[in-house]
Structure 1
Amino acid sequence: MLYFSRWKTVLIWLAVVAGILFAMPNLLTQSQRDSLPGFLPDRPMTLGLDLQGGSYVLLEVDRASLVNDRLQSLRDDVQLSLRNANVGFANLAERDGGVVFTLRDPTQGAAARTALQNLTSPVSTSLLAGGAVTETELAEPEPGNFRLTLTEAGINYRLSTAVAQSIEVVRRRVDELGTTEPVIQRQGLDRIMVQVPGLQDPARLKALLNQTARLTFRLVDVNNSPEAVKAGQQPVPAGSELLETNDTPPVPVLVQRQVMISGENLTDAQAGFDQQNNQPVVNIRFDARGAQRFGEVTQQNVGRPFAIVLDDKVLSAPNIREPILGGQAQISGNFTVQSANDLSVLLRAGALPATLDIIEERTVGPGLGADSISAGQNAGIIGGVFVIAFMFIAYGFLGIIANIALLVNVIILVALLSVLGSTLTLPGIAGIVLTMGMAVDSNVLIYERLLEERRNGRSVVQSIDAGFHKALGTIMDANVTTLIAAVILFFLGSGPVRGFAVTLALGIFTTIFTALTLTRWMVAFWVKKRRPKEVPKGWVSFVPHGTNIRFMAIRKWAFAITIGLSIASIGSLFVGGLNFGIDFTGGTVLEVKSKAPQADVAKIREDLSPIIEGDVQVQEFGSTQDVLIRYAVQEQDLQAPQTSVNAVRASLQNDYTFERVEVVGPTVSGELAWAAIFGVGASLLAIAAYVWVRFEWQFAIGALLATAHDVAMTMGFLVVSQLEFNLTSIAALLTIVGYSLNDTVVVFDRIRENLRKYKKMPISEIIDRSLNETLSRTMLTAVTLVLALVALYGFGGDVIRVFVAPMLAGVLVGVYSSIFIAAPVLIYFKLRPETIRGGDPKDAMEADKKARIGNTPRAGQA
């Protein structure tokens, strides 16, 4: 284990040098990165929205509006097809989600079916896959009465197509904002995720994304009174439609349904100013076909008003004074400079094929992002100092080697995040600090084993070699269990939770490399150069050698206490209940900062009471200038998403800046809740399955019960503390699952080893021996993790504190469960030494011999 060939040494240090080079751009400014030679890496980590500010928006195609548009189109297609086939019909209408009509002559049924055959034929869904879907079904409930309905498969096909088309339109709109590296991805059948880092004006982004931007030019119906139609004094004339202007108050306008020219014929749109009155306008230019059509319409209708309609709102309806033949026109309509610019952006990007609703929004202001970076950096530095000092005190010179490996571990981890283009979030910083704590665990396992082998009489070189060799399996088992939790967290999580999972998973791989390769090389190099006579030791022994605590003697009391506390924790979920965040309840959270020296909480409540239905929570958050506003899902938002947020913005924007906005609709919150439950359950089962394969079924049951206990107790802590339970809390729970299993697997590994050694020893004594032998490692690892987490809790900021607090409780509970739950279960399920195979025969013979003559070594010895 201590021999390294020259090529292995070269590869190890090449990996270290590469890590330094790829991590270095994160310490440089943008100008310094630009000046680097072309052969050097210059790509830093991508910062998440919570670190640099920006907006995350989840859009969903409005299914109802898409179906309604499709029915209108189907109605027009039916009308055209029947007329072309000379089939007489009457009562053509949209009714109950379908299109119905009656034949004037029932004997023309066959002709009608033939005429409509093209509407009911299967439509190819993919050129490559060769699939087809039937969009429309034709039925004849009674002779002469026909009904066409949209199929579920057809609607889903249209939804999928609308999303594919909308992604390109959304991308063009976002690119017009001039932002860098926006992320626009499809999610599921009918959703689009838009993430725009560094955006200074999230309200403008939402305004651009929330408009369909379907531009049409239609003639105004001058033969009927729009006021009379609006008042209900006369019906809407056939072929016309009642719309309203954008004025305040809106003015009704009757326009013809027939679209003369559509926005599809536009080639350009630019904001400008009217030469006569200097008001902001939008200048548009048509393609050849549009220019020809626009010239024909204006030539034939001189003197008539011509309505310019955007998303069923009349922007303006000027009279056609003369034919416009040049293919250029001007749109006016009480624009501001900003609104004229935004309209030109929308028109250049094109119209969305369907209405997109914002069902989830998370916005962080750049100032809050900068504060988060500072808090995360401080927490990481302080946590690192705590861990490094602790390792030096505990292991002396070996601690210095472990600290060098830890520093390289963090460097390589940052390099991997930079190379892979992973997004670093605030929970991701927590993942780095947690990786520091868990990386130390691997060195602790090696060093404790090394010292143990030396106490058993082996030489220095033999002890070091055996320490690395015997710790290898334990390190791999412990890290694989954490990796399982990280993988499940990645696939079931979203946003920042995924960032934490990626960081944790990469940290596991870098930890294995630095602990089992780099640390081993440095120790081997030291041994070769210095020829030590003794293994270095630290200044403080946290668990004295020879400790012999009879843990199993009090297992019944421990079980009774455990059962009582677990029942109380589970019961508290029904009595007190968790303080669910909006991730699971839906609703809105806004963090605002007063422009004055102190926020007026009472006035905010007063201003928002007529706007928001139900209870509005308004409380100071951090400084006296910061206020947190929370309210439940609003009825007005169900009808028109973002209505309440826009109203709150309008009410407070003069006196407050919006630092953070989170809006989660009821649909998304329900999905997140089920995903969280499934994630925790799946991780428990997956890890239990791994333990079963690596050990015996009794070990798997013990691991499962211990981990379930840790989850239950942590949930009880969250109930008592009333900390907000949100997506990051799920990440914390799954991290606790990984850590608890890490600790339990280390104990199980030693129990299995001792079961192979001491075939005749009672199982309770074997467990006590194993627990005492691993107690030093358990305590050292727990202390390093607690030090890292305390740094995060104290210096990581308010947002990350909610994430770290349950993890702190979980670490302490995890130590307890590994000793008093997981291990005693092996007794209750009657695990026997003879069921364990393998091990070193010489060790087993020697141990049995000692046991028979009554000279069994004290706990803490091998």
Structure 2
Amino acid sequence: MLHFSRWKTLLIWLVAFAAVVIAAPNLLSEAQRASLPDWLRHDRVMLGLDLQGGSQIVLKVERSDIVKDRLEEAVANVRNALRGAGIRYTGLTGNDRIVSVRITDPAETQKAVDRLKSLTTTGRDSASELTLQQGGEGQLSLQISDADITADVASARTRSLDIVGRRIAGFGYENFLVRPEGDDRITVQVLGSVDAERLKNLLNQPAKLSFHLIDESMSGQEALNGRWPATSQVLYSLDDPPVPYLVDRTAFASAGNMVDIQPVVDPQTQDTSIAYRLDAEGTKRLAEVTGQNIGKHLAIVFDDQVMSAPAIDAAITNGEGRISANFSEDGVRDLAVMLRAGALPATLTSVEERSVSPTFGGESIVSGFVAGLVAVVLVAALMIALYRILGVIAVVSLFFNLILIIAALSLAGATLTLPGIAGIVLIVGMAVDSNVLVYERIREEEKTAHSFAEAVGRGFSRAFATIVDANVTIFIAAVILFFLGSEAIRGFAVTLAVGILTTVFTAFTLTRSIVAVWLARRHPRHLPKSVLTHLFEHANIRFMGIRRYVFTASAAISLIAMAAFATVGLQLGIDFTGGSLIEVTAKQGNADIADLRSRLNDLNLGEVGVERTGGPANARIRIASQGGGENAEQSAATLVRGELEADYDFRRVEVVGPAISGELTMMATLGIAAALAAILLYIWIRFEWQFAVGAIIATLHDVIIMLGLFVLTGIEFNLTSIAAVLTIVGYSLNDTVVVYDRMRENLKRYTKMPLPILIDASINQTLSRTVLTAATTLLALLALYLFGGDVMRSFAFAMLFGVALGTFSSIYIAAPVLIVFRLRPESPDGEESNKTDAGVKSGTVV
């Protein structure tokens, strides 16, 4: 019997009302939200990059810059230490983390060792120590440890976070996020309309500006042809072609001494420059140096290049000046922004870029909304057609389930991505699965219960364990997906996980309470009559009778899929291979595929693929990995932008460097392995070991054939495909758990029934659930495939195939394995065994 106290019913509807209140601000504009009372929370779901538009760039601290700076520091310290002690030396060099020097007089070697020992501890931390080694003939070396460099890289990353944030803010962007990733990376996300190339240029450069004197002892070209003083270095200008300068190594002022930096553009000549003013210390040093070196030249150095080399005509005492910059107007403004924000401790290299235009994001929102609406209509129509008033209750529960999902995402401040919308659409189909399981269980209990109310109570209570077991498998897959790294996939994982939790909650609180009210007011004596609900009631299909043929066919298909996977292989996306994916829209007319292919081939970027996508004006460009490191990938994308920007708008740009692609491949492999292990461990704990083995074999069967599908169709295999595979694994085991749960129940009830007959009976008893739950999910996925947009079409296609495959494997793979592994030894006299079990007729339990 169902019984809900008034307080419990009131509490359930209060939760539903609170969810409506929390979710409602998502439908309001900014101005409308501002007018809400203070006590009402303003939490809402944030739109992700792929829906709102913007750029996400992953920056990596260049380890080589840190090594170079440490070597220069160590070389200078050795030089100063030996000179200060009056020790003669030669061959002082720094290379590959080792500083080498030879003491000219071997008798002074020990004195040099004693002097250099003070350099072996830098005082930064316990790990920052140099190793001093002594060789023959006065040879000494100081080695910088890997741990020391790693610590410096992490420190540089930490210092860079604030500088990067100031640069983006100085650029005029407001809606941005800067967060650390690992020990040496920074993820930057800027939402809205973004010039990605300009943003990357703004963030990549260290922007180290310093003031030096030109070494007038020889020209830069003479220095290159001979030997120059150790206290100087050869640097090149920003000119084209570059001019070499011999510059004193010691800087007497830097950008850190600048307190006022303004870009200046001459309105008549359009010449650009940077006007600056130095602080008191910088002003004093500049006055001293210029006063003592009238007639010589200054060198204003920017990132190891000479930006300007003005002559010193008189002492500069006011600390003000201008730096001529041969940049565009935008370039000089960006330079001013970088100088104001401060110099980075090292170069930040872009290792990944994902940019989306706001227009493309808006189209994705519309596509996702339409797909969701169609999915709700189709699923609602099916449920009402099948269950009449109970179907209406299921639809009401589904409606509140969706509100609960939005409310939970709003409270958590979660980001909604396009795959996240796909997750919500998928939940539309999966949410009513719980209602189907409950309603079909009620139908069975109605045959033995004394009253319909009793059957309803039994149906809810006995379906609970099955629903929990079935949803746990998908929840585990969602949790694993969350840690795969991509923001879009995380969005899918979050909505899927939240949807599973709200589905279980609504099924056993909201739906149950509404059904209880219906029972109390209408006093029905049986389930509402419907056209299709009795379709499988008297099913007596001998599934196990053809198990050997189906098993053999499945094994053959699996072997073919493995052979195709080994020989042909998957068409891996840039997530796993590196490279660039660019979608463009012609500014006028249609995209000319042949012209695009010809123009891009002229750029000598290697393998370039061009195809039409999402309409005649759109094209998708794939550029294979350049094989020259992170900078090569970024350079390729920059070349394509420069070539096409006059004729095409860029809808979407993804650039993945080799470091990121290698990590994504490893994470995807580990993610699949971890998900399989966790799910199967759960089944092992909940069921007998034979059930776990059956689930393992069925899961491997599904994964192998899914991979074969990707090989056969040539669909690109990327992180979204990983999400599809893992979700299918969870869904397939969802179906398997429903069948297994009934088998376990029948094993206790019919102790002498031969296993093949028991399995057939169990499958027939759950056939309506298996078919109907698959049908609701397939309807939602069909809506996603047809209306969800081009980006999600391959995901929806894989899911459509996977749901059908999972339904098949739960019957013809997971079940027969139990016979192979002798879950129950067959009786030598199966005929007599059948007679001892009342209620067994032609292999069907009634």
Match of 2:79 in 1: 79
Which of these residues, 752, 758, 770, is aligned with residue 766 of structure 1? 758
Shift of 1:711: 0.7
Match of 1:29 in 2: 29
Asked whether 1:184 is paired with 2:178, we answer yes
Match of 2:127 in 1: 133
Match of 2:730 in 1: 738
Q: Which deviations, in whole Å up to 9, do the C-alpha atoms of 1:819-848 show, x marking residues without a partner?
A: 0010111111111299xxxxxxxxxxxxx9
Alignment of 1:693-842 (within 5 A): 693-832=685-824
TM-score, L = length of structure 1: 0.94
CA distance in 1, matches of 2:293, 2:267: 25
Aligned AA (2:646) = N
Asked whether 1:205 is paired with 2:199, we answer yes
Q: Which deviations, in whole Å up to 9, do the C-alpha atoms of 1:306-331 show, x marking residues without a partner?
A: 22221122222222333322333222
Given that 1:123 and 1:133 are in contact with CA atoms closer than 8 Å, whether structure 2 keeps it comes out as no
- Aligned with 1:580: secondary structure? coil
Match of 2:166 in 1: 172
Alignment of 1:44-123 (within 5 A): 44-121=44-121, 123=123
Aligned AA (2:624) = A
CA distance in 2, matches of 1:212, 1:361: 19
Distance 1:228 1:256, change over 3 A: same
Aligned AA (1:414) = I
- Aligned with 1:578: secondary structure? coil
| Structure 2 residues without counterparts, runs of 5 or longer | 827-831
Match of 1:666 in 2: 658
Asked whether 1:428 is paired with 2:420, we answer yes
- Aligned with 2:616: secondary structure? strand
Q: Which deviations, in whole Å up to 9, do the C-alpha atoms of 1:494-526 show, x marking residues without a partner?
A: 221111111111111111110111101111111
Shift of 1:163: 0.9
Shift of 1:456: 3.0
TM-score, L = length of structure 2: 0.96
Q: Which deviations, in whole Å up to 9, do the C-alpha atoms of 1:684-705 show, x marking residues without a partner?
A: 1111110010011101000111
Which of these residues, 234, 238, 241, is aligned with residue 249 of structure 1? 241
Match of 2:141 in 1: 147
Which of these residues, 542, 548, 553, is aligned with residue 540 of structure 2? 548
RMSD, aligned CA: 2.2
Distance 1:307 1:591, change over 3 A: same
Match of 2:259 in 1: 267
- Aligned with 2:339: secondary structure? helix
- Aligned with 2:814: secondary structure? helix
Asked whether 1:384 is paired with 2:401, we answer no
Aligned AA (1:852) = T
Q: Which deviations, in whole Å up to 9, do the C-alpha atoms of 1:333-369 show, x marking residues without a partner?
A: 1232211211111011111111111111111111111
Shift of 1:149: 1.0
Which of these residues, 818, 826, 840, is aligned with residue 856 of structure 1? 840
Given that 2:209 and 2:303 are in contact with CA atoms closer than 8 Å, whether structure 1 keeps it comes out as yes
Match of 1:567 in 2: 559
CA distance in 2, matches of 1:578, 1:82: 61
Given that 2:50 and 2:418 are in contact with CA atoms closer than 8 Å, whether structure 1 keeps it comes out as yes
Given that 1:215 and 1:311 are in contact with CA atoms closer than 8 Å, whether structure 2 keeps it comes out as yes
CA distance in 2, matches of 1:42, 1:727: 33
Aligned AA (2:421) = I
Aligned AA (2:76) = D
Aligned AA (1:307) = A
- Aligned with 2:684: secondary structure? helix
Q: Which deviations, in whole Å up to 9, do the C-alpha atoms of 1:639-694 show, x marking residues without a partner?
A: 65622222222221111122111111122212211211111111111111100100
- Aligned with 2:766: secondary structure? helix
Shift of 1:857: 5.5
Aligned AA (1:391) = M
* Aligned length, in residue pairs: 842
Which of these residues, 133, 142, 157, is aligned with residue 163 of structure 1? 157
CA distance in 1, matches of 2:772, 2:835: 30
Shift of 1:23: 1.0
Match of 1:18 in 2: 18
Distance 1:709 1:575, change over 3 A: same
Structure 1 range deviating more: 464-473 or 106-115: 106-115
Q: Which deviations, in whole Å up to 9, do the C-alpha atoms of 1:725-744 show, x marking residues without a partner?
A: 00110011000011011111
Aligned AA (1:651) = E
Structure 1 range deviating more: 137-146 or 517-526: 137-146
| Structure 1 residues without counterparts, runs of 5 or longer | 126-131, 835-847
Match of 1:461 in 2: 453
- Aligned with 1:282: secondary structure? strand
CA distance in 1, matches of 2:321, 2:550: 83
Which of these residues, 317, 324, 343, is aligned with residue 325 of structure 1? 317
Shift of 1:764: 1.1
Match of 2:829 in 1: none
CA distance in 2, matches of 1:473, 1:681: 26
CA distance in 2, matches of 1:512, 1:443: 10
- Aligned with 1:60: secondary structure? strand
Shift of 1:140: 0.6
CA distance in 2, matches of 1:613, 1:336: 28
Match of 1:5 in 2: 5
- Aligned with 1:492: secondary structure? coil
CA distance in 2, matches of 1:853, 1:209: 76
Shift of 1:610: 3.2
Asked whether 1:590 is paired with 2:574, we answer no
CA distance in 2, matches of 1:123, 1:692: 55
Asked whether 1:608 is paired with 2:620, we answer no
Given that 1:566 and 1:712 are in contact with CA atoms closer than 8 Å, whether structure 2 keeps it comes out as yes
Alignment of 1:387-466 (within 5 A): 387-466=379-458
Aligned AA (1:187) = E
Aligned AA (1:426) = L
Q: Which deviations, in whole Å up to 9, do the C-alpha atoms of 1:777-829 show, x marking residues without a partner?
A: 01001111111001111111111112111111110110010000101111111
Shift of 1:530: 2.1
Given that 1:761 and 1:851 are in contact with CA atoms closer than 8 Å, whether structure 2 keeps it comes out as no
Given that 2:753 and 2:834 are in contact with CA atoms closer than 8 Å, whether structure 1 keeps it comes out as no
Q: Which deviations, in whole Å up to 9, do the C-alpha atoms of 1:55-111 show, x marking residues without a partner?
A: 111111111222122111111111112223333322211245411111233333343
- Aligned with 1:192: secondary structure? strand
Which of these residues, 279, 285, 294, is aligned with residue 286 of structure 2? 294
CA distance in 2, matches of 1:212, 1:665: 20
CA distance in 2, matches of 1:16, 1:780: 27
Structure 1 range deviating more: 65-74 or 278-287: 278-287
Given that 2:752 and 2:833 are in contact with CA atoms closer than 8 Å, whether structure 1 keeps it comes out as no
CA distance in 2, matches of 1:88, 1:420: 66
